[in-house]
Amino acid sequence: MTYAITSNCIGCQRCVSACPTAAIQKDGAQARIDVNRCNQCVGSFSVPQCWASCPTSHGCIEALAAATTDYWENWFTTYTHVVQRLNKTANPKYWNRWFDRYAAMVKRLQKERSVTP
């Protein structure tokens, strides 16, 4: 499942320098992704850098999603892919501590608002 550059690309070329595998090549004003080199930044980054560096956020799409027309198949494929990446990179202790602190802050603010006239 490599990425492909769509017609939404504005030609800013940010993705060319962001790609860790040099899979993105300039093709005139447009860029293209070499499917033999693209590995979706697995092992380098938690998200594909072409997508992350794109100012439109829609200049790159997964080739599998583009080739498949079934909405729910695309949705489940994308969901499964995202969950797998989150499970690999997530730090539950950090997020649990973050949510605990956030909940304590909300309770404190609610308490302060109820005390003030």
Residue 53 lies in a domain: yes
Asked whether residue 30 is assigned to any structural domain, the reply reads yes
Query: What is the pTM assigned to this prediction?
Result: 0.48
H helices of 31-70, where? 49-53, 63-67
pLDDT at position 64? 47
- Domain, as residue range, for 52: 3-67
Rounded Cα gap, residues 50 and 89, in angstroms: 19
Residue 84 lies in a domain: no
In-domain check, residue 40: yes
* 60 inside domain: yes
Q: What is the pLDDT of residues 16-36, one digit of tens each?
A: 888 999 998 887 777 888 888
Q: Is residue 116 part of a domain?
A: no
Contact (CB, 8 A) for 52 and 19 = no
| Range name among 5-9, 18-22, 39-43, 64-68 with the lowest pLDDT average | 64-68
Domain count, the chain: 1
Q: Which domain CATH number covers 60? A: 3.30.70.20
